[in-house]
Amino acid sequence: MSGIIGKKIGMTRLIQDDGRVIPITVIHCEPNEVTQIKTVEKDGYPAIVLGFSKLKKPTKTKKFAHLKEFRISADETFNKGDAITCESLKDVELVTVMGVSKGKGFQGVIKRHNFACGPMSHGSHHHREPGSIGARAKPGRVEKGKKLPGHMGTGQITLNKVKVAYLDTEKNLVGLKGAVPGSKGGLIIITK
């Protein structure tokens, strides 16, 4: 198993026999189709390209809403048009999960970088400002990488060693332990 693409449904919990409660994120992994096979002779490395979420009105060049390339080992064999289902996660305990985090818009330094607040009383005008940002005439500019207000979120987040807690091959559902980055309906990529 190289990987699979899915859509985040949301979070729920599993209640164990001994009373423990495990929070899980449920991902719907409808069967992915192998759209392209890359070989060592032709491309220099072995890989497959999976298509996810078939378009209602496909064109000659585009049949899927999402395509993703996964590296495979040289001994694995796939054919174009094969379906990759969540059954490939049956014997896998830990996976790597990639998703795009929720967008938070333009945020200040307190929310974005965990800065502390200034004094809130006695005539202070310095409540949620960043404070001093650098030198004066020399170098006469703000240093690159300075922690300042700006756009927050919508970045690719990768989580390693996420436990597969639940698997329903009939409904194509995968339950991963804990929270997974992204909003409901967001694209999630699961790899070994």
- Predicted confidence (pLDDT) at residue 1 exceeds the cutoff of 80: no
Q: Residue 75's domain spans which residues?
A: 1-55+62-103+158-192
Q: What average pLDDT does this structure show over 87-103?
A: 93
DSSP 8-class letter at 30:
P
CATH number of domain containing 66:
2.40.30.10
Write down the mean pLDDT value for the chain: 92
Please state whether the predicted TM-score (pTM) of the whole model is above 0.75. Answer: yes
- 127 and 182 co-located in one domain: no
E strand spans, the chain: 3-15, 21-28, 32-38, 47-54, 64-71, 83-84, 94-100, 105-107, 150-152, 156-168, 173-177, 187-191
| Rounded distance between C-alpha atoms, residue 144 and residue 129, angstroms | 19
- 77 and 28 co-located in one domain: yes
The rounded percent of the chain whose pLDDT value lies above 70 is: 99
pLDDT at res. 117: 93
Are 83 and 31 contacting, i.e. CB atoms less than 8 angstroms apart?
A: yes
Are 3 and 192 contacting, i.e. CB atoms less than 8 angstroms apart?
A: yes
The rounded percent of the chain whose pLDDT value lies above 90 is: 73
- Predicted confidence (pLDDT) at residue 144 exceeds the cutoff of 80: yes
